[in-house]
């Protein structure tokens, strides 16, 4: 008797786990099918999807949950439903409330064909991460009411909600938790809302699924590229050994699927940067995350044309070509320097250097201003004497010795100098600490014009 009861329980679980397997798909014995159904309780796990949260569905390897956003919209939603029916695949549709009111027949068809109805807000605003909780609540409740009105029964709408654009915020998540509504994010996406063709949609979906191994896939049933590429996507999923899992909410008659807390934990939890900037998807997210330890590879001998990375590499150093200037043309003649072949050590390929930052290229504005003034002063007084000062960091500064003697007259009131040019207001000798720019100065003999003559 006990064995018979156990057998009946196992048989019932198998029926729930595989309501639409490939063998039951009429007219298509090679269909992908739906391998099993997971029943979830939003009161226990209310934040879902490894793209933004630390939990996702308790899936096994090679299992995928297919979700669609933004519909319904004919003819694309209709075509997607036909493709899913041919393959006996069940999905979750996150519908926009006003779209559901516009096309209630599609909403009813989605439910009648065994898919899950879920909420994607009433009007799909792109400021969910900034709006007040009251405004967000109106969008959320309006979406549930519109979908329920289209299908004819609020109980037929799952307590699942996905933020438009995944623009989440903590306060709205708290509101959803108080209403026992599960907030769905994603594990990977196919970028089908961008301007890419159907082949690229399929390629990105498969590549990212291969990288994750399992998870929640985001698609959009309002995109023509998605409708065109869905048959190839489902075919490739079956060819690569993936299985589709359907998700429904728990009810009094339908208890949740047994699972352990560890099964919900995302294999690769989001980083701190992802957790901090998980709201502005998909537009600005890549640009707002700043690398904390950017590294660059050090140049090695192979960076300069060597064909080997041995410890010692013979290299002939050649100077840059020196142009030979003529009357009508220039000829580049390479000059060998030095003539002998030397041996230098190759740098390890694994060495890393910190990437330069903007601070490495900062220029002193005061110094630049002084340099500009001094340049103008040099043009007025080309024969002034200079002194040179080399500081420990091999930067020089030029100081006026103050030896220029203006002619008699009103100082600074337009008197002319020895060259006949008007001089400005009389200036005192520059202070030794005045900085006019970063320079390396080479001293030259200080001779007067009389000596040169």
pTM of the model: 0.58
Mean pLDDT, residues 222-240 taken together:
96
CA 265 to chain centre: 23
**Confidence band of 329 (pLDDT split at 50, 70, 90):** low
Distance CA 430, CA 398 (A): 9
Mean pLDDT of the chain: 74
Which range (139-148, 278-287, 414-423, 426-435) has the least confidence? 278-287
Task: Enumerate the β-bridge partners of residue 93.
Answer: 68, 117
The sign of the CA dihedral 390, 393, 399, 401 is negative
Q: What is the pLDDT of residues 358-415, one digit of tens each?
A: 666 655 555 556 656 666 665 655 544 444 444 444 344 444 444 444 444 444 444 4
Q: Which one has a higher pLDDT value, 8 or 137? A: 137
Distance CA 158, CA 250 (A): 9
CA 420 to chain centre: 64
The active-site residue out of 51, 115, 220, 246 is 220
Task: Enumerate the β-bridge partners of residue 34.
Answer: 20
Q: Which one has a higher pLDDT value, 69 or 435? A: 69
Which range (159-173, 210-224, 352-366) has the least confidence? 352-366
Using alpha carbons, list the distances in angstroms from residue 367 to 41, 370, 374, 390, 433: 67, 5, 10, 16, 11
Q: Is 124 a catalytic residue?
A: no
Identify which of 235, 256, 243, 246 has the alpha carbon closest to the alpha carbon of residue 110.
246
Q: Is 61 a catalytic residue?
A: no
The active-site residue out of 51, 69, 129, 221 is 69
Q: What is the pLDDT of residues 50-88, one digit of tens each?
A: 999 999 999 999 999 999 999 999 999 999 999 999 999
Using alpha carbons, list the distances in angstroms from residue 36 to 29, 63, 107, 372, 375: 17, 10, 23, 76, 80
Which range (89-98, 283-292, 325-334, 363-372) has the least confidence? 283-292
Distance CA 349, CA 37 (A): 51
Q: What is the pLDDT of residue 354?
A: 66
Report the range out of 285-289, 325-329, 449-453 with the highest average pLDDT. 325-329
Q: Are the CB atoms for 90 and 34 separated by under 8 Å?
A: yes
Distance CA 50, CA 193 (A): 20
Residue 321 has pLDDT above 70, yes or no: no
SS (H, E, C) the chain: CHHHHHHHHHHHHHHHHCCECHHHCCCCCCCCCECEEEEECCCCCCEECCCCCCECCCCCCCEEEEEEECCCCCCHHHHHHHHHHHHCCCCEEEECHHHHHHCHHHHHHHHHCCCEEEECCCCCCCCCCCCCHHHHHHHHHHHHHHHHHHHCCHHHEEEEECCHHHCCCHHHHHHHHHCCCEEECCCEECCCCCCCCHHHHHHHHHHHHHHHCCEEEEEECCCHHHHHHHHHHHHHHHHCCCEEEEEEECCCCCCCCCCCHHHHECCCCCCHHHHHCCCCCCCCHHHHCCCCCCEEECCCHHHHCCCCCCCEEEECCECCCEEEECCCCEEEECCECCCCCEEEECCCCCCEEECCCHHHHCCCHHHHHHHHHHHHHHHHCCCCCEEEEECCCCCEEEEECCCCCCCCCCCCCCCECCCCCECCCCCCCCCCCCCCCCECCCCCCCCCHHHHC
């Amino acid at each position: 008797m006990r064995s018979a009861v156990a057998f009946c329980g196992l048989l019932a679980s198998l029926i729930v786990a595989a309501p639409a397997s490939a063998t039951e798909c009429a007219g298509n014995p090679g269909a992908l099918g739906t391998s099993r159904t997971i029943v979830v309780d939003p009161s226990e796990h209310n934040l879902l999807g490894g793209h933004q949260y630390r939990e996702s569905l308790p899936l096994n390897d090679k299992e995928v949950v297919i979700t669609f956003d933004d519909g319904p919209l004919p003819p694309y939603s209709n075509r997607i439903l036909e493709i899913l029916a041919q393959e006996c695949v069940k999905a979750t549709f996150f519908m926009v409330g006003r779209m559901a009111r516009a096309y209630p027949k599609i909403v009813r068809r989605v439910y009648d064909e065994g898919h899950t109805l879920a909420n994607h807000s009433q009007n799909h605003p792109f400021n969910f991460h900034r709006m007040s909780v009251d405004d967000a609540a109106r969008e959320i409740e309006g979406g549930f009411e519109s979908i329920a009105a289209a299908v004819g029964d609020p109980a037929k709408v799952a307590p699942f909600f996905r933020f438009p654009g995944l623009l989440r915020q903590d306060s709205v998540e708290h509101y959803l938790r108080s209403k026992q509504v599960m907030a769905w994010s994603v594990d990977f996406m196919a970028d089908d809302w961008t301007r890419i063709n159907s082949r690229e949609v399929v390629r990105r979906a498969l590549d990212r699924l291969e990288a994750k191994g399992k998870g929640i896939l985001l698609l959009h049933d309002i995109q023509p590229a998605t409708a065109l590429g869905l048959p190839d996507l489902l075919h490739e999923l079956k060819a690569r050994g993936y299985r589709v899992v359907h998700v429904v909410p728990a009810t009094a008659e339908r208890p949740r699927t047994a699972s352990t807390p560890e099964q919900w934990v995302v294999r690769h939890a989001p980083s701190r940067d992802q957790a901090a900037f998980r709201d502005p998807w998909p537009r600005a997210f890549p640009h707002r995350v700043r690398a904390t330890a950017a590294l660059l590879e050090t140049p090695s001998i192979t960076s300069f044309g060597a064909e080997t990375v041995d410890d010692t590499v013979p290299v002939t150093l050649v100077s840059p070509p020196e142009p030979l200037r003529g009357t009508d043309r220039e000829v580049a003649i390479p000059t060998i320097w030095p003539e002998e072949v030397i041996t230098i050590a190759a740098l390890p390929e694994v060495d890393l250097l910190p990437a330069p930052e903007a601070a490495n290229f900062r220029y002193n504005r005061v110094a630049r201003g002084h340099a500009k003034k001094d340049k103008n002063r040099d043009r007025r007084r080309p024969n002034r004497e200079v002194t040179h000062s080399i500081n420990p960091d091999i930067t020089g500064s030029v100081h006026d010795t103050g030896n220029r003697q203006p002619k008699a007259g009103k100082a600074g009131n337009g008197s002319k100098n020895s060259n006949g040019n008007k001089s400005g207001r009389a200036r005192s000798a520059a202070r030794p600490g005045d900085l006019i720019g970063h320079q390396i100065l080479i001293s030259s003999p200080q001779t007067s014009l009389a000596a040169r003559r």
